[in-house]
Amino acid sequence: FKCGASKHSYPLVLPITCVSFTVGKQVDKAAFLNNWKSLVAEEQTKQTTVTSSDGKTLATIRDLFTSAKKLGLTIVEGIDTNPAASLTCTGLFETKTIKVGCMIRVDSMGGSNFRVTVRTGSGLLSNALCRTLVNLIKARIQLLKHLS
């Protein structure tokens, strides 16, 4: 675009969603549990279920959430006693003026059903992040189905 006599160009990777502003954040088990338990207001927690029609496992979702080339969230060590059935990770939603910690759990509910739970200090962010993660899981599962 042009502003006055100057030309400006800003390359953007689209689509831009709330996960575009989220980076992994390392926390220990005690800090995670303390923060998880403190975010109890209804608007701070968003939970929904995703069903995979092709029987993919939690490993697929773990790769999507934690790979540096994808979402880059950080796994919280010591929370999940059965890593094949659940995934706990954290991130930091960060803009120039806002920093909000994000805590995410994905639990296998048997078969190809998964429960995604997001807790943040902002109800708006919890809803947006959960909706985006669920859509990414669905898209990833569908993509893998076509590649198999």
In the predicted structure, residue 74 carries a pLDDT above the cut 90: no
Q: Which amino acid is at 73?
A: L
Residue 50: per-residue pLDDT: 87
Residue 48: per-residue pLDDT: 94
Average pLDDT over residues 70-93: 86
Residue 68: per-residue pLDDT: 62
Burial class of residue 121, CB neighbours in 10 A (0-12, 13-18, 19+): middle
Of residues 23 and 28, more confidently modeled: 28
* Percent of residues, the chain, with pLDDT higher than 70: 82
Q: How far apart are CA 121 and CA 2, in angstroms?
A: 39
100-132 confidence digits (pLDDT tens) = 889 999 998 887 789 999 999 999 889 988 988
Residue 13: per-residue pLDDT: 57
In contact, 89 and 76? CB cutoff 8 Å: yes
Average pLDDT over residues 58-74: 78
In the predicted structure, residue 145 carries a pLDDT above the cut 80: no
Residue 147: per-residue pLDDT: 41
Average pLDDT over residues 35-41: 92
Burial class of residue 142, CB neighbours in 10 A (0-12, 13-18, 19+): middle
